[in-house]
Amino acid sequence: MDSHGQYEQQVVWTVVGTDIGPLLLAATHEGLVNIVFHATDTVRDRALGRLADRLGTEPVEAPGSPLLAEAIRQVEAYFAGERHDFELALDWSLISGFNQQVLRELATGVPYGAVVGYGDLAKRVGQPGAAQAVGVAMGANPLPVVVPCHRVVESDGGIGGFGGGLETKRKLLALEGVLPEPLF
C-alpha cells in the first residue's frame, strides 16, 4: 500500500511459449491487461516500455505470480486444444470508448470456431456504417487470442488483416477448425 492506504498499481508479466510463438502475458490486480505476439527480446522490451508509460508503473517479471497463474493455464489449454472459452478477469484500462465496446462484444458474442465480418460486428454494437472503425478496434486490441480478433474477417470471405501477422491469424483459425491446417 502507498502512504494514502491505496494499493499501488502492480503489473506482472511473463512470456509463454505457444504454437504461434512466444506470447507476453501481463496482468494487474484487475486481471489480464495485455497480450503481445512474437515476444522476442526486442518486442518484449518495447511492449513493457509502453505498458510502463500507459499504466504508470514498471512491469515486473513474475512467471509464478498468482495474478498470471490462471491466464497461463488457460492459454496453454487453448493451444493444446483443451479449452475453447476463456474465463479470465480482464483489465480493460488500455482501451476505451468504441474500441472497448466492440472488443467486449467480440469477446462475448463470437464463439470458438466461428467468425464474424467487420460490418456485422459494427452492426452488433449499433454502428452499422463503422466497419473500418471495427478494423481499427481490432488493431488496437490489447488482449488478442483471449479477446479473439482473429475471428473477424472480411465479408467477401477474405481473411482480413491482423496485428500478429496473417500467418498467425491463419494458425489461430486453423486451431479453431475454421481453416485447414497450413501445410508448412
Question: SS3 for 32?
Answer: strand
Active site residue 149: yes
Burial status of residue 54 (CB atoms within 10 A of its CB: 0-12, 13-18, 19 or more): middle
- Are 24 and 38 spatial neighbours (Cβ–Cβ below 8 Å)? no
Question: How far apart are the two ends of the chain, measured CA to CA in Å?
Answer: 51
| Candidates 103, 137, 145, 149; catalytic one | 149
In angstroms, what is the C-alpha Rg of the chain?
17
Report residue 117: phi and psi, to 5°.
-80, 155
Positions annotated as catalytic residues are: 149
